Amino acid sequence: HGAVRREVSRQAGKGDLGARMIIDPEAVRDPYPHYEAMRSQGRMVRSALSWTTVDHEITTEVLRSPDFCVGMRMPENAPGLLKAALRAGGSWPLGPAEPPSLLSIDPPDHNRIRKLVTRSFSAKAITRLRGRTEEVATSLLDDMGAGGGTHRRADVVEQYASLLPATVIAEMLGAPLEMREDFLRWGEGGAYSLDMGLTYPMFRRSEKDIDALADWMDGHFDDLRRTPNDSILSSLVQAYDEEEGRLTHDELLSLALLLLAAGFETTVNLIGNGTRLLLTHPDQLERLRADPSLWPNAVDEILRFDSPVQRTGRVAARDTEVCGFPVKRGALVLTQLGGANRDPAVFTDPDRFDVGRENADRHVAFSQGIHYCLGAALAKMEGEVGLRALFDRYPDLRSDGPPELRGTRVLRGYRSLPVRLGEAR
Ligand code: HEM
């Protein structure tokens, strides 16, 4: 681990942009200038570890192509550093070896497992959850404003943006609400597992937190066997127990962990990043006040402009070609979602935050192809309900001191967003 990190550091020092994305602290604070540096080097840029791209068309094509894979079929002839990491046993280099979840499983297994949960996250199922999400938002806003006073300070992320999606996913999955604080804590360490090039203490914290969450989940499965209910987790446990071969224990566990973690760790950033953007662009907030029908589009624009998931990657399963670029079997291509979402070939004046942007929904913030975010409809609904309720309740909401970023690279968002609430409506 240390040797690989040193090598990435060395490459970054030599100006390798892919390596800098992995290791440079500036790229955490503000990745967007790095994407523009990459863009100026070409549509596909060679890096020590991989190919990397901020091109919208190439990103879309790679993510949709059956010639690329995520895990199990990853070929043994992968290049340099990736090979070393593969030999060490992990599917993704430089990060803790998580159990293979949907995100790192290829067809046909991917299809078999994803099928088990598609219905629960369909647009129809999510529409039914809207009313309950509004109730949760209202009650969290009540708590946040308790004590009154127009100068009351609060932290939008800690007291609201993290708790709203956490509550909704815990209720959907049938996970006990009193565990919410633990989930959030474990989820924070777990979120590091998506990043490459972690320092050793972060690596250890991440492993420990994932282990703790997995232990809790296994115990919870036993509870659900004794007392089944109509939750998603209970139906998965039943599917596992009833039909041998339908799901392995590892698949059951990692699917449950992914659903919980994705529910906890991503939408918080959509609401947090959105709050920050609207506070710093009062003209855009004004437009939403004047025309609330713009809200769904505004959520897409937030996802485009400051994407909660900044990158993903694929490995070529065979020699292939994307948009005329030959890619050798085994090559890793890092698709920089946050950079593709600023591609001027698709988005006019891409660095402008514009809630009325006509093609905002062409962003790739939820990826593309077979791994397209299962929770996209849920996240968009929560984002819209959450942001609207916040700005409706506190029309004078103001920033109150510098926000603090989480410090993760794949997931981009704030740990803390201090505000003054102002008068409640
Ligand atoms: C997959 C983004 C919320 C569940 C993904 C991927 C992205 C993404 C980019 C695909 C990664 C890849 O192609 O390698 C987001 C964003 C969210 C969000 C930006 C919030 C704003 C959620 C929520 C859930 C969820 C609320 C619900 C539990 C999943 C699952 C997958 C996934 C299960 C794996 C799908 C597969 O591999 O087939 N998400 N997500 N996500 N997401 Fe989300």
The per-residue pLDDT for 73 is 45
Asked whether 266 lines ligand 1 (CB < 6 A), one says: yes
The per-residue pLDDT for 177 is 86
Q: Give the DSSP H/E element, type plus range, for residue 184.
A: helix 180-192
How far apart, in whole angstroms, are the C-alpha atoms of residue 142 and residue 125? Answer: 27
Asked whether 386 lines ligand 1 (CB < 6 A), one says: no
Which residue owns the Cα nearest ligand 1 atom 26? 263
Asked whether 317 lines ligand 1 (CB < 6 A), one says: no
What are the respective helix, strand and coil percentages of the chain, to the nearest 5? Answer: 55, 10, 35
Mutate to test the pocket of ligand 1, among 102, 373, 382 (most ligand atoms within 8 A of CB): 373
Q: Let me know if 37 is exposed, middle or buried by CB neighbors in 10 A (0-12, 13-18, 19+).
A: middle
How many angstroms does the Cα of residue 144 sit away from the middle of ligand 1?
A: 28
Asked whether 331 lines ligand 1 (CB < 6 A), one says: no
How far apart, in whole angstroms, are the C-alpha atoms of residue 370 and residue 227? Answer: 34
Question: Pairing mode, if any, of strands 418-420 and 153-155?
Answer: antiparallel
Asked whether 102 lines ligand 1 (CB < 6 A), one says: yes
Length of the chain: 425
Asked whether 233 lines ligand 1 (CB < 6 A), one says: no
The per-residue pLDDT for 90 is 45
Q: Give the DSSP H/E element, type plus range, for residue 63.
A: helix 56-64
Q: What is the ipTM of this complex?
A: 0.99
The per-residue pLDDT for 93 is 40
Predicted structure pTM score: 0.93
Q: Let me know if 363 is exposed, middle or buried by CB neighbors in 10 A (0-12, 13-18, 19+).
A: buried
Asked whether 312 lines ligand 1 (CB < 6 A), one says: yes
370 and 110 in contact (C-beta within 8 Å)? yes
Asked whether 287 lines ligand 1 (CB < 6 A), one says: no
- Tracing tokens 């999606």 back to the chain, one arrives at 165
Residue-range domains of the chain with CATH: 2-420 (1.10.630.10)
How many angstroms does the Cα of residue 263 sit away from the middle of ligand 1?
A: 9
How many angstroms does the Cα of residue 15 sit away from the middle of ligand 1?
A: 32
Which residue owns the Cα nearest ligand 1 atom 18? 266
The per-residue pLDDT for 3 is 64
Asked whether 366 lines ligand 1 (CB < 6 A), one says: yes
Which residue owns the Cα nearest ligand 1 atom 21? 267
Give 10-residue mean pLDDT values along the chain (425 residues). 70 81 86 95 86 96 94 50 50 47 88 92 95 97 79 91 94 87 82 72 80 90 92 90 83 89 91 98 98 98 97 91 91 93 98 98 98 97 98 96 92 96 89
How far apart, in whole angstroms, are the C-alpha atoms of residue 366 and residue 371? Answer: 9
How far apart, in whole angstroms, are the C-alpha atoms of residue 153 and residue 296? Answer: 28
The ligand 1 atom nearest the CA atom of 105: 37
The single-letter code of the amino acid at 34 is: H
240 and 252 in contact (C-beta within 8 Å)? yes
